[in-house]
Structure formats: structure tokens, C-alpha cells
Structure 1
Amino acid sequence: MIHGQVLPFPAQPSRFERRLDWFAESRRVLIGIWAVYIGLRLLVLLIPVVPTSDAEWYYLRAISLAEGHGYLDNAGAPTAFWPPGWPIALSLVFRKFGASLLVLGLFNLASAALIGQLTLALGRRLFRDEAAARAGFLLLAIYPNAIAYVPLALTEVFYTALLMAGCWAVLARKQTAQLVGAGLIFGFATLVKAQTLVVLPLLFAIEWLRARPVWARLPRLLGQGLLTLFIAFMVVLPWSARNHAQLGHWVLVSTNGGYTLLTGNHDTATGDYTPDAPVVKDLMARTDLDEVARDAEARRLGMDWIKVNPAKFMALLPKKAIRLWAPDGEGEWAYQGGDPNYARFETLYRAVRYANQGYYLVLMLGFASAFVAMTVRRIKGRQRWIDWWLLPYGVTLFPTAICLVFSGQSRFHWPVMPFVCMATGWLVIDLLGRIGRPKAQAVTIH
């Protein structure tokens, strides 16, 4: 018998570890998070905010479609200005339940509930940790700017539900036929935001590179990706055909692409969305151009400016990125213009806006730190670096690339925030686990 031998002896789980286990396993915890998530979003529906600006356009288009008048501009002429997916979806709800702000809010609430469920499902899938998934869900539940959008007639809540559902359909598929559903979802999402299809190559690229044999798997995944893109294109095609029939030109989705390009690229551009710039206002005031020609002229003006001013364009890139990612809480603007009681509660609104900005910065700091922490962990564990945990970071490239070409608007990062919460939730649980984990005790055998 060997005397005096020191052997490591696993310590009993600490009280803190048991609490983390309770957080991950308790049904009551999950119900509680759901109660907070839905309760706060129901509460904000009590605010009588009427649609203004972009929201008013979408809301009126939805009413026009619900009444059978078609997708018309304010003068009653057929239009393809701005993508039609959100008004089309909202019009179907209005046709069934009537057009009202209450119906709008409840439809957004249903979309928000889907976002919550997908935040949990994707969090479990990406990070393989129930506690991390729940933590990400909780972070999203109390995020003020996410709550603020629920009563608004803007695209963000509905679009984010579609984007996340499309990602889940690709990740969770068990057979190729299920990609038809993913294609349908991404196709309709493209009708809401025309640039959506760039997400599909990202999804299949991650799946391709996450496991060996890389090259042997490429033909199958390439075929699946092309199938999904084809289905999505077939969803968009009827709308494109409608545009050709009613406008006399082929317009894939909408006629605001050139307009948006010009608002971010002209002599007085600052990196922000500037629709009041003289060059933009002058173009929009021209009566010798129809809608399609005006959009084409705006695209030409924007592209010509970039070609003539490459240095100025490059100088705008960091300003656009900062404008996209630095501020948050822009949902308050809708209340400022649409809530008749805003003046009475302006101090409260601003306090929530400032608190939201601080909370947002913490989320983004956690998001960046999670990238570093996961990278270090996978390198130390000799795991393949590319895996589904990279999806939240890949999704951030989607609005970033768009804003660098067009203009920076903080509203465009709204659909990314559930993914940010997932990654930050994983980091929180990982740090808490490290802090609360007791060290192994050394036991001497005599």
C-alpha cells in the first residue's frame, strides 16, 4: 500500500452550481421568462401610438390590399415602392379580423412570440446548452427596444420572425425535402426585405465547413442551397411579373433601391440616411420620370457619385458602420411622432431610451467577448472553429454590408439582436459556471 499519496477528489456541487442547474432545468423558470417576455409586450400595446412615416405607408398599403384595391401609392396608382411582403401579410390579417391598431399589435405580438420560441430553439442548437438558451431568451425579454417595436406598423418584428424561422428550417432539417419550406420562408422574407437571400449562402457555407470531409460534402450542399434559392425565387417571381404587367418594366421586388442608394451617397452625405438632401428632393420632385425611371436615375446618380468620389465614399464607410451599430433605441422616434401623450411622458421616454442605450452597449460588449471566449475554448479543445455558433456573427454581416453601400440606420440591426442575445446569454452562463465551480479538493491517502 502506498502511503501519503495525494489524489484529487471531486468537490460536491456548490450552491451556486445547483442554482444554475435549477435555472436550466426548472419548468417554472421557463414559464417565468415567458411571462416577462409576453407581459412586457402586452403592456406596451396599451400605448396609443399611431403609424407615422414608413409605418404609415405600410399600414395604408395593408388596408388598401385588404379592401381589394391593390398595392397603390398615395395617388391611387399601382406602385412597387418599398417591398410589399409586410403589407401583404398584414392585409390578410386585416381581411380576417378588421383593420385596426389593436389587430396590428396583436399580430406583431404573435410574431414576437415566435421570435421568443426561436431564440430558445436556436440558442439550444447553436450553443448546446439549455441554461445559455434561457439566458439569451431572458436578455431579449427585457430588452426595451425589442419591446418598443411591438405596437408599430414597421417591418422589423414580422421580418425577424421570418429570418429566424428560415434559419431554423435550414439548421433543423432532416431531409432535403424540408428545404422547400425553408425556400418558401426565405422567399417571403425577401418580399419584406429584398436583400434577405444573401443569408442563404452564409447558412450553407457554415454547414459545409463545419465538418469533414469538406470537399466530398460540397456537391450535395451546393445542390441543396441552389434548391432553396430556386424555391425562394419562385415565391418572388409572381410579384415581379405583377410589376411588369402594371408598371411596364421588370422590377424584381421594389423600386426604392436606387433611392436608398442615393440617400447615402451624395455630396452632403454624412453616413446617415438623408432623404432631405437637395439631390434627393430634386429627383423625387421630377414629374418627367415615372416610378421605375426615377429609381433607375437615383441608382445612376448614386453609382456615378461613388465612381467620381471613391475617397469620399471610403471615408463614409466607418461613419455608416458607426451609425448602424453605435446608437440604439430608435423605437422612441415612433412614439415621439405617434403617441399623443408623448409630451406628458417625455421624461420617462427619455429615461427608458438612455437605459436602453446602456443595456444595448452591455449586450454588444458581451457579444464581442463571447466571440473571443468561444474561439479560445475551441482552439484549446482542438475543436473545429467553424460551427453553428458562428451564425449570430455571420448574420451581423448582413446589415453591415448593406449599410456600407447604402446608408447607416440603427433600425437595420434590430433583426440581429435576438442572435446577439443568444451569444451573450452563452457568455453569461459560461462565466457564472466558472465563477461558481468549486475547485477539486486534494485528499491524502495514508
Structure 2
Amino acid sequence: MGPRVKWPWPSIASKAFKPNLAASKNILLQAGRLKPPKGAEPRLNPLRVPISMSAQNSLDQSPNTSRPLEGLGWSIGVFLIALAFRLTIQILTLPSLLADRDAYRRLAQTLYATGTFGILDPQGHPVATAYRPPLYPWLLSWLQGFESDLLPIAILHAILGACSVTLTFHIAFRLGLSGLQSLVASALVLFDPILLRQSTLVMTETLATFLGLLAWWLALFLDRKDTLDLAGSGLLGRGQQIGAAIGLAIGATLGIACLCRPTALAWALLWGGSELRRNPLRASCLLIGCLLVLLPWWKRNQSEMGQGLWATTHGGYTLLLANNPILYEHWETSWSRQWDDDRFHAWWHAKRIEKNVRSETDQIACDEIASDALANALGWQSIRANPVLFFKACAIRLGWMWAWWPAEHQTHWIVRVAIGIWYAITTTAGFVGLIRLLRRAGSEPKFACWLPALTLAASLCLVHAVYWSNMRMRAPIIPVISLLAVYGSRGLSISVPNSPQRGQVRQV
């Protein structure tokens, strides 16, 4: 029995600080740090606040028991090693950045030269477009003006890749993984074949992966600060303000991710939906924050394109590319990724000319809005005409997305075998980790910390089950797979003393 601790209520204390002192006293009481006077009950805060695991750990953890790899020095070390490796890969593959298959560099050059997000017509006049999301070309526009933009783009991709590795390292700690496990998860992201390959191309996967990790990390970091501040304030109004601010910050990050890849909008909806029952204010603010970031893009499209668009005019094409008569004909006999896409492009070009949404001679003149609407209509026409085949196609598209090796025409067979072995191991381990996590949902104290990642994976699977799909589409969830693989490989089970079970609410 320790000495009895008196309640700290000096008569000269300012009345404004009493709620903070009372709430802090109750936190210490429930953590076992203080003992109440005999016959006295701790004063309860009228606000019922769920104590996050990170907040509880900060109370239970003393400086002598903190994990040594969580310090700033280790983070810097992980970042520098990742940067050196990724930069080496970028330099060795520098010529691959010359390709511009999705016209991101053209958009960046036009934006840099004219201030218009678009492409130049044969007369050199800028033509506004919304066919691609604007964030990545906008970043590239800052790298124009040099004799060559290859090295600046390589450095940008290397930095984004190194940041993704470092964020994975930090998230692993937030999830309760050990120092060694955090390093292994980071290494899986560092050496991942898809992420390495896409970082050597002028495409969005490197940026999208970083933004997905940033949103997840921000949610874990701010949730920790939110819970501690809210518990210490003891004021309902301030608690609501903090929760709203956190929702807006996370939503803004998701909005930025949508400007990189519009599939993040589905993630925002699923994430917000998963928060709605537990914290409706925060869920609402998350969606509001996302829409506020997208609002300037919507207004720009309304002004320049004649119609407000939250995403792009590319969605109809990706729906049609995944649901067209030529591909459905191929899927009736084979699941192979080798299909006659040239025949599809010729068919689609003829359809646009037939519907007067594209000039037969001018490759620039195109009504994007009408073309997008036509592609959507033709895609849904294929789905309605073959509903049974559509559901089969959904399974095939998911199989393409989760394929372990590239298609035969993409690389040498030795490389395909090596990549196949890598993904056979990591994907299987990740699936095992997912099963173990879901089975422990009721007892795993960190389960709520996984929800952003699980909703990200679910949103990508739902979108690409219907829209066009291939291996690179899963790039943003590769860190999630890596963390699940490490989690499942050890059968990790975390127990934290004096911690409430999931579903319980602690009162302060």
C-alpha cells in the first residue's frame, strides 16, 4: 500500500483550470498512478471518451521501457538508406523516364509554358483537359525549365519512395510491431518489384503510394494527440473541435490523394463510413475536408470544361476498357492477360467518330465530356447484355490485379519467375496476417488502427473489380500487404496492461 495522495485542489487555483486538473486526476486514477481517498469516488467527466491504445501506451510506458528503434535517429537512418537505394535505381534506369505513355509530362510542360492544364493543339494553342488528375502533372511542372527533366523527376521519385519506406517504419510502431518487424516491413516496401518498376516511369503510383501512407500515418498520429488532449480538456465543446479538426485534416489529405488518383475518393467514402457509427462528427468532417480540397478542381472543370467534375473524364474509358465486347469475347474462352487490345482501340475510335465526339483527322479535337459519357454508356451496355459474364469478369479482373508475375510480353521469363516467387511469399503471408487480424478483431487492441488500411484495400478491390485492372493498380496497398505479412508471420498477439478491451468505453 503506497502513501495516500491528497487531491490537488489549492484554493488559489484558477477556476478555469479545474476541469483539466480533474480530468488529469481521473486518468491517473484509472491508470493506477493515484489512489483516491477512502470512501471517495473519482469525479467523472460528462464526456465518454474512448482511450486509444497509443494514448494508453504513453501512460503505461516509462522511459526505461520505450522501444529503442522508435527514435529520430533510426527514422533518419531508414530514410537515408532508402533514399540511397532508390536513387541508385533511378540513376541506373534513367532512360526509362523518357517514356510518357499517359502524357503526364506533356501536361506538365503545357502547364509550365502556358499556365493551362491541358495539351497543345497543332497550332500551339493550349486546350484544357480533365482527362488526367492534376496533382502529379502539377508537381512535374515545377521540374520543367531545365535542359532535361529526367534527373529532377528521378530525384522526386526517389524522395517519395524513401518517404514511403519511412512512413511504413513509423506505422509499424504505431501498430505495435517490434523494432525488427518494423524494419522488415520497411524492407519489403523498399525492395517491392511493382514499386521499383513504377518509380522508373512517369506515372502516378509512386506519389499515390506515398499519399496513402501519409493519410494512414496522419490518422494514427493525430488520433494519439486527439485522445490525450480531449481527455485532458474535460470540455465537450473542445473535444468536438479537436475531433472535427482531425477529421478535416485527414479528409484534406484524402482529397489530395484524389487529385493524384481518383480511386482515393472510394477510399474516403469507405473510411468515412467506417467512422460514422463510432464518431459521426469526425466522419462527417473527414468527408467535408476531402470535398473542400476537391472543390477548386470541380470549379475549374465547370469553368474550363463546361461541367463540374470531381474526378476526371478518364473514368468512362477505364470502365469501357474493362467491359467491352472484344474483351468479353476473349474471357469466354480464356482468363489470359493476352488479348487483342488493338482491335478494341480500333472499335472505340470508330464508335467515337460515329457519335461525333471525335474528329476523324484531328487527334486533338475531342469532346471529352461527350466521349466520357459515351464510354460509360457503352461499358454499362456490355454489362447489362452479359450479367453472368460480368460477374465472371469481376473475378478475372481481381485475379489480374493480384497476379504474382507480369504478363509474358512484359519482361524476360527469369524476371517473371523471380517476381512470382516474391509475390507468392509476400501475398500469401499478407493474406495469413489478414485472416489472423480479422479473427482477433474482438481482442486485438490495435485493430482500430488497421481500419484505414483495410478500407483502402477494400476500396481498390471494389473499384478494380469493375474498372480496368492490372498488377500496378495495387501499388498503393503494397505497404499494407507488407505490414500484414509481418504481422501474420509471427502470429503477433499484443497485450497491454490496464487496457480496455475493444468495444468498451473508458470514462474519464
TM over 0.5: yes
| 1:291 maps to amino acid | E
2:101 is aligned, of 54, 66, 77, to: 54
Which residue of 2 is the match for residue 355 of structure 1?
418
The equivalent residue for 1:401 is: 462
1:82 to 123, 132, 137: 132
Q: 1:193 aligns with which of 257, 261, 268?
A: 261
Q: Name which one, 1 or 2, has greater alpha-carbon Rg.
A: 2
Partner of 1:417: 478
Report the more deviating stretch, 402-411 or 74-83: 74-83
- The correspondence of residues 375-394 of structure 1 with structure 2, limited to 5 A, is 375-376=438-439, 382-383=443-444, 386-394=447-455
Map 1:246-257 → 2, pairs under 5 A: 246-257=304-315
| Residues matched between the structures, number | 384
Residue matched to 1:162:
211
The 1:395–1:184 alpha-carbon spacing in structure 2 relative to 1, beyond 3 Å, is closer
Deviation at 1:158, TM superposition (A): 0.7
User: Shift in Å at residue 318 of structure 1?
Assistant: 1.2
Report the 3-state secondary structure (helix = DSSP H, G, I; strand = E; otherwise coil) of the residue aligned with 1:255.
coil
Query: Residues 415 and 37 (structure 1 numbering): CA distance in 2 closer, same or farther, change over 3 Å?
Result: same
Is 1:132–1:428's contact at 8 Å kept on the other side of the alignment? no
For residue 380 of structure 2, the aligned residue among 300, 303, 323 is 303
Q: Deviations over 1:273-332 (max 9, x none)?
A: 9764143232345582211111111111111221222112112111111111114458x9
Alignment check: 8 A CA contact 2:169 2:183 kept: yes
Partners of 1:34 and 1:98 in 2: how far apart?
Answer: 29
Separation of aligned partners in 2, 1:141 and 1:298: 38
* Within-5 A mapping of 1:192-271: 192-204=260-272, 218=278, 221-269=279-327, 270=331
1:165 partner letter? L
1:338-353 to 2 correspondences below 5 Å: 351-353=414-416
Q: Tell me, yes or no, if the aligned pair for 2:316 and 2:376 is still in contact at 8 Å.
A: yes
Task: Name which of 101, 121, 133 aligns with 2:182.
Answer: 133
Residues 353 and 202 (structure 1), Cα distance of their counterparts in 2 relative to 1, 3 Å cut:
same
Contact 2:169 2:185 (C-alpha < 8 Å) held by counterparts: yes
Q: Distance in 2 between matches of 1:309 and 1:291?
A: 27
Aligned to 2:85: 40
**What amino acid does structure 2 have at the position aligned with 1:354?**
V
Whether the 8 Å contact between 2:441 and 2:447 is mirrored in structure 1 is no
Distance 2:219 2:424 in 1: 31
Displacement of 1:419: 1.0
- CA pair 108-262 structure 1, distance change in 2 beyond 3 A: same
SS at match of 1:326: coil
**Partner amino acid, structure 1, of 2:431:** A
Amino acid at match of 1:179: G
Structure 1 residues 309 and 376, CA gap change in structure 2 (3 angstroms): closer
Q: Which moved more, 1:248-257 or 1:263-272?
A: 263-272
| 5+ residue gaps, structure 1 | 1-20, 209-214, 337-346, 434-446
Identical residues among aligned pairs (%) = 22
Pick aligned residue for 1:364 from 403, 427, 441: 427
Instruction: Say whether the 8 Å CA contact 2:251–2:268 is kept in structure 1.
Output: no
- Structure 1 window deviating more from structure 2 (176-185 vs 148-157): it is 176-185
Residues 131 and 426 of structure 1, relative CA distance in 2, 3 Å threshold: farther
Equivalence for 1:9: none
Give the partner amino acid of 1:60.
Answer: R
| Larger relative contact order (Cα-Cα within 8 Å, sequence gap ≥ 6) | 1
- C-alpha displacement at 1:53, in angstroms? 4.9
Report the 3-state secondary structure (helix = DSSP H, G, I; strand = E; otherwise coil) of the residue aligned with 1:50: helix
Counterpart AA for 1:40? F
Contact between 2:268 and 2:290, CA under 8 Å: does it hold in 1? no
Alignment of 1:114-125 (within 5 A): 114-125=163-174
CA–CA distance in 2 between the matches of 1:171 and 1:137? 17
Q: Which residue does the alignment assign to 2:150?
A: 101
Alignment check: 8 A CA contact 2:80 2:162 kept: no
Amino acid aligned to 2:137:
P
Counterpart selection for 2:251 from 176, 179, 183: 183
Which structure dedicates a bigger proportion of its chain to helix?
A: 1
Q: CA deviation at 1:403?
A: 1.3
Q: CA separation in 1, counterparts of 2:397 and 2:183?
A: 33
Aligned-partner residue type, residue 106 of structure 2: L
Q: Residues 330-341 of structure 1: matches in 2 within 5 Å?
A: none
2:220 pairs with 1:171: yes
Q: Which moved more, 1:192-201 or 1:257-266?
A: 192-201
Amino acid at match of 2:130: A
Corresponding letter in the other structure for 1:180: L
Going from structure 1 to structure 2, the CA distance change for 1:27 and 1:65 (only over 3 Å counts) comes to closer
Alignment TM-score, normalising by the size of structure 1: 0.76
1:68 aligns with 2:114: yes
Q: Considering only aligned residues, what root-mean-square deviation do their CA atoms show, in Å?
A: 3.2
**Of residues 393, 397, 409 in structure 2, which corresponds to 1:316?**
393
What is the Cα deviation at residue 206 of structure 1?
A: 5.0
Task: For residue 377 of structure 1, report the CA deviation from its aligned partner.
Answer: 5.2
**Residue 283 to residue 167, structure 1, CA distance change in 2 (3 Å):** farther
**CA 285–300 in structure 1, closer or farther in 2 if over 3 Å, else same:** same
CA change 1:233–1:30 in 2 (3 A) is closer
CA contact (8 A) 1:206 1:388 kept: no
Q: Output the CA distance in 2 between the equivalents of 1:23 and 1:404.
A: 43
Q: CA deviation at 1:190?
A: 0.8
Give, in whole Å, the separation in 1 of the partners of 2:70 and 2:215: 28
